[in-house]
Amino acid sequence: MEKKTGKEKVSGVLYIIQRIAALLGVCAIFFPTFNPSYIFTVVDGNPMNNTTSLFTAAISTSGIMSDGIVSGISRNLLEAGSFTTLRVACILLLLGVIAAGVGACMSVGNKTMKQVSHLVSIGGAVLLIVGGVIIINIGNNVESIVKVEESGETTDSVYQVTLAEETDADTWTSDATTMLSQCENDVYRITIANNSGKSMEGWALQIHVGADYDMSNYIGINRKFSILYDRNNYVDYEFNVELEGEYLVVTPGNYTMEEGELTLDESASGNYISTIDAGTLTLTLIMDGISADTEVIVTDGARAQNMAWIFPTCVYIYIALAVIVIVTSLVNAVLIGKAPAGEHMHMETEYQLFIMFLPFILLIFAFSYLPLYGWRFTFVWDETKSITAEGNFAGTHWFTVLFADSAFRKLFLNVMKNTLGLSFLGLFTSWLPMVFAVFLNEVKNSKFKGFVTTFSTIPNFISWVLVYSIAFAIFSADGLVSNLLGINHNYLQDSTHLWLKMWAWGTWKGIGWSAIIYISGIAGIDQQLYEAASIDGAGRFQRMWSITLPCLLPTFVVMLVMSVAGILSNGMDQYLMFSNAQTIDDLNVLDLYVYNLVFDGGGQVPLSTVVGMGKSIVSIILFFIANSAAKAIRGNGIV
Amino acid sequence: MAKTAEEKMNEKLEKEYYKKHKRMYRLSASDIVFSIINYAVFFIFTFSCIFPFYYIFIQTISDPSLVASGAIRFYPRGLTISNYVNILHENQIISAFVVSVARTLIGTTLMVLASGLIGYLVTQDKMWKKKLWYRFMVITMYFNAGTIPWVMNMRLLGLEGNFLAYIIPGIVSPYNIILVKTYIESIPAELEESAFIDGAGYMTVFRKIIWPLCKPILATIAIFGAVGHWNSFTDSLMLMTAPEAQKYHTLQHVLYNYLVRNQRVDTSAGGSVQTVSAAVKYTCSMVTIIPILIVYPFMQKYFQKGIMLGAVKG
């Protein structure tokens, strides 16, 4: 290897700096903290969500419509035109980062390629600077508007929205009876427009009602009137809609439904209706093409929420990265010197291969490593706010609450009991597939054998949803079993022997498939062993016990050891399908608990993250233990 | 499966062997009892694996009024295809079917292409820091941040309520890549080397030599990938919660809504809420099962190979 000259050393260092800058840029576009299109926030009251990254903002229209921008536009703080400008700036920034990344990749090539890479990098950096300057400029325009707004009277506070039927009484009252009774679980698109022409769209009203107006009927699981969380616009509205005489009253607030009781959580966030001016609004419900217009009277509420422009400081980060890239590229362009005439672009094999792999490395990073960033939720009170936001740092609260709070502790211990109970039930019977294979081997009719292997593996290939569909067909109140016995019993809501039932479904689904590995194992056993044993007078069972089983044992032990690593992962699908009000106590396993904490009205993201994090950490420790055990048993481990 | 000449020959030899050693293999009474029980147990189990599908199927092709009265137990009566005609009018099912088919086709194709390429790349010792990147990939099989951080991450990346959420995360599948890698390692290295000597580049070697040779293993992972895509529903459940994203619900998700959501409402308040009729539930189930049953014979050919390779490498 030839010795590097001083020049080469310097340019080597500069390239490393440039590549790091490009990599930082590529990473930054995925983090909301570094999203310069986030330019509005609420000064007092409830802050806005900040969960969109620059990447999202650039590739999707809904992504860029953060709360801040929506409110900004709806209150004339931001002209609709500047929204397009903002979008363009985001796209420029994204393209700039991509070009800088490509340039960094190309800089590992030969001289000709390096010179091209300088051009690409500088081009990307220029795009970054242009995008950054555009965003700063939008800010300059907006800032002046906000100042005017703040000096004027605030019209942006609302706590009560009254939805009164005035315009189209027929549609709402008489027809509503049939209309509503036909559309349980239906989703209404809802448009709210006020008399000055401003409107907010994309909300949805989900109404679950019975056949009559008796409000007592509406209390129950999934039976509330609510305007759903609209993730695309990051509008977190939840309303309680009640019928009061002739009126439908919509009160903003965060309601949680528990055990048939309606409770109002006053401290919860989510009253962003404040972005609509006071006055009369038109509310349009659209369902299957039928629309009903209603007037909504918006009155001023108690708390005012002031919007303010925040300067996206992170835009300077992109500009700084751009400057670094430009400087290093220019210096290197001089240092490297002119490429020999006629030299083709070329790159060393090792880097060629690496760059082919690079896009996949980024994908792996984005979907398997980046989620680790979500562990920050374990330290916050409200996951929609930044961890550094005032009063949002929860410390170790979510870690201790599971054990400190007696209600949580009881629930959590029950979950652990179910998780471990069901797992151990599976572990203790994990020899069944092996026995299945051993006994199937005693079936001498090869056609019957083929028939069994073919059809006993089918259940493995259908989802748990379909397994539940089968269970429904056979064991529900109208199912085959009830039908044959002439009774009307729904076995799916029977809370007896649930663990055994779940184990039975799991075994039914998996045994044929798990047995295949042992069937292949048996096929590999030397037939002479059997012949020798027969000549020595060994019977059928002796041969099974003394030849077949010992030959399969190493495979079995390794499989068993590895399944110990998955002891906390029962999988969610099966228990999600089979759990209902009667069976949830015995079927609430960790995976399902984590899911239910967040979805279907849970909303407990921090707690759920803590539980999931604990599970991941314990699982990886178990995995390494199991791996070394497997190594000790069969000589080589899994990784 | 057609028997090869060799297999036929073996069978013949086996029969002769049994004839010769008849005394040794003479069946005792206990043997006969054992066989009967053994056959019976396997028959009953296998029957339990087939019958439910048949049972649901006969519900869907029988006269709805007979189905409602519980008269259809073991054979169809009053044959009709009205259920299947009706389901063509259920917009939700049609759109879900299209989504499921699209994600299965697109997702599987990209996964197979990527697995082939990555599987090839990680066998190339020349790659810069190959070991590091290989470990970087493999470790993700055993470690993940958890469900909720994953969902929040998808939201962060703008994939919530986006069809691409079904496709992009599944492109890199470490398990399948290991299968491909193991397979490529079994290909004689001389093939590649001779191509390099003839001046072929890495991509040429991959396209002209490795890819065609890998077809059996690629077919295996394609089939497993496709079944996985078709069956997966938690991603749809967790990412497509917004009303706007309803058009991206997969068939499994719709079936889940029909089966569980409605039934839950049903049980909590004495059935005052309208439920999806059993006929629709059954028909939707059949629509979901049938594609699996259609590809099943093809799968059979490959899955033995798949599970054996998987067992070798874990």
Q: What percent of chain A has pLDDT above 70?
A: 66
Number of domains comprising chain B: 2
pLDDT in tens, B59-95: 999 888 888 787 888 888 888 888 888 888 777 888 8
CATH of the domain at B126: 1.10.3720.10
- A197 Cβ contact partners less than 8 Å away, ≥ 6 residues apart: none
DSSP secondary structure, A35-81, as one string: -TT--EEESSSSPPP----HHHHHH-HHHH--HHHHHHHHTTSS-HH
pLDDT of A300 higher than 70 = no
Cβ contact, residue pair B50, A458, below 8 Å: yes
SS3 state at A538: coil
ipTM of the complex: 0.86
pLDDT at A171 over 70: no
Nearest-Cα distance to chain B for A608, in Å, is 7
| pLDDT tier, B297 (very low <50, low <70, confident <90, very high otherwise) | confident
pLDDT 10s digits, A100-148: 999 999 888 888 888 889 999 999 999 999 999 988 887 776 655 544 4
User: End of a domain among B80, B108, B123?
Assistant: B80
Average pLDDT over residues A76-82: 62
Residues A337-365, mean pLDDT to the nearest whole number: 86
| Residue among A30, A206, A478 minimizing CB distance to B157 | A30
Q: Note whether B129 and B272 are same-domain residues.
A: yes
Same domain, B38 and B187: no
Asked if B27 and B157 sit in the same domain, the reply is no
pLDDT of residue A573: 92
What are the counts of helices (DSSP H) followed by strands (DSSP E) for chain A? Answer: 24, 12
Provide the shortest C-alpha distance from residue A145 to chain B (in Å): 30
Q: What is the per-residue DSSP string for A386-450?
A: -TTSTT-B-TTHHHHHHHHSHHHHHHHHHHHHHHHHHHHHHHHTTTHHHHHHHHHHT---HHHHH
pLDDT of B2 > 60? The answer is no
| In contact, B117 and B278? CB cutoff 8 Å | no
Are B147 and B290 found together in one domain? yes
| Contact A489/B at CB under 8 A | no
**What's the pLDDT band for B265 if we cut at 50, 70, 90?**
very low
Least confident of A33-42, A100-109, A587-596, B220-229: A33-42
Q: Is A144 on the interface with B (CB under 8 A)?
A: no
Q: What is the pLDDT of residue A575?
A: 93
Q: What is the dihedral angle through the alpha carbons of A463, B229, A56, B140, rounded to the nearest 10 degrees?
A: 90
B38/A184 CB distance under 8 A: no
Last residue of one domain, picked from the residues B51, B80, B109? B80
Do B31 and B128 lie in one domain? The reply is no
Chain A contact set for B304 (CB, 8 A): 516, 520
Of B80, B106, B125, the residue that ends a domain is: B80
How many inter-chain contacts (A to B, CB under 8 Å) are there?
Answer: 324
The helix (run of H) or strand (run of E) holding residue B74 is: none
| 3-class secondary structure, A566 | coil
CATH number of A407-634: 1.10.3720.10
Looking at the structure, tell me whether residues B66 and B113 fall in a common domain. Answer: no
Tell me: the pLDDT tens digits for A236-247?
A: 333 333 333 222
Q: Tell me if chain A has a CB within 8 Å of the CB of B146.
A: yes
Residues of B in contact with A469 (CB under 8 A): 56, 255, 259, 281-282, 285, 288
Q: Does residue B194 share a domain with residue B72?
A: no
**In chain A, where the domains are located:** 6-152+308-379, 158-305, 407-634
Contact between chains at A232 and B242 (C-beta distance less than 8 A): yes
Same domain? B107 vs B234: yes
Task: Return the ∠ at Cα B264 (arms to B271 and A485), rounded to 5°.
Answer: 70
Q: Find the domain containing B111 and state its range.
A: 88-313
CA quadruple B30, B31, B33, B36: dihedral, nearest 10: 170
| B160 and B12 in a common domain | no
Among all residues of chain A, which has the CA nearest to that of B279?
A473
Mean pLDDT score across all residues of chain A: 71
pLDDT band at A637 (very low <50, low <70, confident <90, very high): low
Residue with token string 């528990």: A258
Task: In whole angstroms, give the CA distance from residue B130 to residue B136.
Answer: 10
Tell me the mean pLDDT in the region A480-486: 86
> Is the minimum CB–CB distance between A217 and chain B shorter than 8 Å?
yes
Instruction: Identify whether residues B234 and B299 lie together within a single domain.
Output: yes
B73 contacts A223? CB cut-off 8 A: no
Q: Dump pLDDT digits (tens) for A409-465.
A: 888 999 999 999 999 999 999 999 999 999 998 888 889 998 998 899 899 999 999
Tell me: pLDDT of A268 over 80.
Answer: no
Looking at residues B259-283, what average pLDDT do you find?
Answer: 58
C-alpha atoms less than 13 angstroms from C-alpha of A404 in its C-beta half-sphere: 6
pLDDT digits (tens, 9 = 90+) for A172-221: 222 333 333 333 333 333 344 333 333 333 323 333 332 233 222 222 21
Residue A152 Cα to chain centre, angstroms: 42
Residues of B (74-113) whose Cβ lies below 8 Å from A: none
User: Do residues A199 and A193 make contact, with C-beta atoms less than 8 angstroms apart?
Assistant: yes
- The label of the residue with tokens 């239906």 reads A186
CA nearest to A452 within chain B:
B46
Q: CA-CA distance, A541 to A548, in Å (whole number)?
A: 10
**pLDDT tens for residues A354-411?**
989 999 998 999 899 989 988 988 888 877 777 777 777 888 888 888 888 888 888 8
Q: Are residues B13 and B63 in the same domain?
A: yes
Residues B199, B106 share a domain: yes
- For residue B22, what pLDDT band results from cuts at 50, 70 and 90? low
Taking only residues 218 to 237 of chain B, the set having a beta carbon closer than 8 angstroms to any beta carbon of chain A reads 227, 230-234, 237
